[in-house]
Chain A
């Protein structure tokens, strides 16, 4: 299950 958008920001 991957995020459609990278949540790599804070």
Chain B
């Protein structure tokens, strides 16, 4: 563990807490893409199967359990508790265009041809693009509640923090994980447009609005 990864994980944790807080306090999941949230459940479940056979640390164990359970809880909030506030008609990104290519990529690029390793690769690839339905929705509506933008900023920062972590691990442990690194760079790059508006508008106290 190093500070970069710790900051990344804390940022990831914060993003989920911000999202749950937003849904609970506004009693609404308006502006949140159900498809993106469902993709995150897929990501966590397919990646953390090693919970059942591989022990890393107590920290690692609890974080994995937290990510799986909190992402399922968010789906519950969106589909059951606050269902009327979820508007599927603006959540129109075709996720089969993400699932298919990620599955193919996972079959080509993996560290070992076993079910769990291929699923692990799949989850890494899928995570890198899972935010697209959400960003697509933001693009369509052209605006977002401030709290939603804080959620997205924390979520984007998480993988960005992992990049210096990978550089650090390369120097100190001589470890390189090419699948995670390339996907992580793609994942972070997808947020660049968002970050630009977030830093120049939201953090200056203005509303998040995309130019018409």
A interface residues with partner B (beta carbon < 8 Å): 3-10
CA distance A8 to B175 in the complex (A): 12
Chain B interface, >50% SS class: helix
CA distance A7 to B165 in the complex (A): 14
Contact A9 B180 (CB under 8 A): yes
B interface residues with partner A (beta carbon < 8 Å): 5, 9, 12, 50, 54, 56-57, 60, 63-64, 67, 111-112, 117, 120, 162, 165, 175, 177, 180
Contact A10 B64 (CB under 8 A): yes
Residues of A within 8 A of B64 (CB): 10
The list of the 4 closest CB pairs from A to B, nearest first, reads A4-B111, A8-B56, A5-B111, A5-B177
- Which of B12, B54, B175, B177 contacts A10 (CB under 8 A)? B12
Closest Cβ–Cβ distance, residue A8 to chain B (whole Å): 5
Closest to A6 in B: B175
Closest to A3 in B: B111
Contact B111 A10 (CB under 8 A): no
11 contacts between A and B (CB under 8 A): A3-B54, A3-B112, A3-B117, A4-B112, A5-B175, A8-B56, A9-B5, A9-B162, A9-B177, A10-B60, A10-B67
CA distance A2 to B175 in the complex (A): 15
Closest Cβ–Cβ distance, residue B52 to chain A (whole Å): 13
Residues of B within 8 A of A10 (CB): 9, 12, 60, 63-64, 67
CA distance A3 to B64 in the complex (A): 18
Most buried by B among A4, A5, A8, A9: A9
Residues of A within 8 A of B63 (CB): 10
